[in-house]
Chain A
């Protein structure tokens, strides 16, 4: 809590908006004691600013400064009251509807939608006509006209949260509905509550001023809205008495500006996606000079002393640390490691897909003698997919949901040379057949396929340009074992037929040992062991490799069982500090 307050203060938008808002609040609270009575007719009408009346006088001879300062009090009081009420009513209705669902949701959603359809301003005018005059009338009118939109926002948010396991866990604990809503759901919406409150206050100030300007408020009260109403009535524009309406107008604009700043500051601070990162600069890399070697015979890919740093707020964080390995044409090379080991980062670096916060700070990646880390622009585009392609972990999100499979193949093929749609579709049918899918699926949409089928499409797409290396980043992690084996068998068969090499990245060491020719074990960004699968299986030397191997229970009897009273696995010693891992996006958990 203290941390979030501190970051609020450090935030420039929040600081500017907050101090402006604070100024107006102080003005509204103590200002009226320092100015004259705003209703007294203290001077001649329509007088420009003078030493006696700093902001001049109104069309009736009242002091404009006094009117502006005193007007702040009711305007802001009503604004914040309506902001709070609208947020409260909207949150209660929305969260109740979203959490309870079914019939309750039907009734509440219908009510909300009816209120949404009724235009707010006419509703407020009609309501205003029937209620007794006074500031409370304005509060009631604006709350009734404004809560519905909020209810929708909060309903959507609670629908998303309701599906989370911690809500189910609270139900299993035996918590009551009221407690789940108040202690489990609402605290998770704190930022939404905050920014809604500010946003609703903004709405309330605007709508209130609007209604009062039209003469629909209490015209005898002194508020910013009535100030403008009287300015209009007294023909301030016709008499060119700009001093009558400019101060009030400026105040309204500044309050609106301050509220907008605070609201967007809350959004930015709570939604990391909107935050502008200012990470510490990365150390200057010591990338080896680019010179094209003659490719060593029997080496397709050569990773040499590769180090990759992520820029974080706490400084550079080394994710890949002087990793070297070679890959022969047609070889299956496995990279094994746990979350945070840097295995996916290496895969991204090979395709030049590193996020902007990451950089290769040392070493180089040679593909067929060409330095991949030095590629840019058109060269990189030509290299990607044609030379090296990739199969991603989440088949679900790797395919574009709004394009048919044929279109996705056409996109891929057309990005690397002019092809007609007919040619693309023919090639797509051929590729789909190759991975064991029906060629007719070329007209299907991604959502019509199962997870295993989607991953087959992913492989077909990766093979579309006949690359020499396919990187597979956990391609089977989300799949069932039977589907996994079907997929892997198909892949091995295709590899033998087409002769591409595979870099297989996974946490599943037994799978990797069965699949790969050679395997590298990554721990905390370092390649701790590299050997043939056979060598690792029989003669793992590094303690971490041994730990990984013993962590997988086997079906065959005789290995270490979980029932044995071996000392508990030392979790912390093998995983990196969680703060460091948390700063690194991507990767499986």
Chain B
């Protein structure tokens, strides 16, 4: 049956993709199997302000992107971030992403 006992959905912001990947890879064993019950959602950067373009599609102002590398995680068997993740937690006022 589904594990409905513990579930935690947390946003993290890492310096870059490589740092996020290394954090995630620590949860995979040598056979490439995930060793924790979690869903990792790699979000990268968000568009904070849309770019503007003229009628020919030429950029007038460039889009403004978020900083860092965003990663959402649904931890299904943890009620808090695992060791080494807590310091990368963020709580944006406008998350820009949600679970359906």
Q: Do A and B bind each other?
A: no
